[in-house]
Structure 1
Amino acid sequence: MLCRGLASPRRTRADPHLVASLASLQRATQRYKAIGTKKHKPEEVVAKLRQVNVLVSQGHSVADAIRAIGVSEVTYYRWRKEFGGLKTDQVRRMRELETENARLRKAIADLTLDKLILQEEARGNF
């Protein structure tokens, strides 16, 4: 005996509209994932920003120069805001400092937690 709301065992073929919609959704998802997969290293970003500056100084429009490096205008202006006047070695140093900063913050958090545990133990609250 079947409960109400469950599919009949006779229905074995999928609805063609549903299959087409699912296939379309899968293609759109793959396209969306492919859009954001390209990551540029900071050194590459600085090089591309310099390339735009060279093209603009040669008389090209900013929009044409941005298209020539293969990124969107939004990406270009975000990069310019983030990496504006930095040189390649400065970007590398900044990345190293950010990594060290994150490591030190984690160490501080671990030591603070250890200190709190020892204080609780000294009070006899454990």
Structure 2
Amino acid sequence: MKKSKFSPSQIIKILNEYESGKTASEVSRSYGISQATLYNWKKKYGGMEASDLKKLKALEEENRKLKRMYAELALDHQMAKEIIEKKL
């Protein structure tokens, strides 16, 4: 997943500008983002505070790490299982 160049507080600020009445094209042009990015952020983070967004991003990162660890352990387990079966 590509890391955002915007901090959670910046994303919330951008969304607040959009929700306060500026058009999507004005907001996206002023921050150098696509309108699709703005709409995706609104869908994903709309109504959140910056602290909520920080917590969400931290949880998503932890989830990614845990999935990677699980995949490595599952592979190690499978390899150990195959070695044991060969010895029997």
Say yes or no: TM over 0.5: yes
User: In the superposition, relative to structure 1, how do residues 109 and 66 fare at CA in structure 2: closer, same or farther (>3 Å)?
Assistant: same
Helix, strand or coil for the counterpart of 1:124?
A: helix
Give the count of matched residue pairs.
Answer: 81
Taking the aligned partners of 1:97 and 1:53, their CA distance within structure 2 comes to 26
RMSD, matched Cα: 2.4
> 1:14-33, aligned counterparts within 5 Å?
none
Match of 1:95 in 2: 57
Identity %: 26
CA deviations over 1:14-66 (Å, ceiling 9, x no partner): xxxxxxxxxxxxxxxxxxxxxxxx93223211111113333x2xxxxx42x75
Taking the aligned partners of 1:109 and 1:50, their CA distance within structure 2 comes to 39
**Shift of the alpha carbon at 1:124?**
1.3
Q: 86, 108, 111: which is aligned to 2:70?
A: 108
Answer whether contact 1:52 1:66 (CA < 8 A) is retained: no
Q: 50, 57, 67: which is aligned to 2:26?
A: 67
**Unmatched segments (≥5 aa) in structure 1:** 1-37, 57-61
Higher relative contact order (CA 8 A, sep 6+): 2
Task: Give the TM-score normalised by the residue count of structure 2.
Answer: 0.73
Q: 82, 90, 109: which is aligned to 2:44?
A: 82
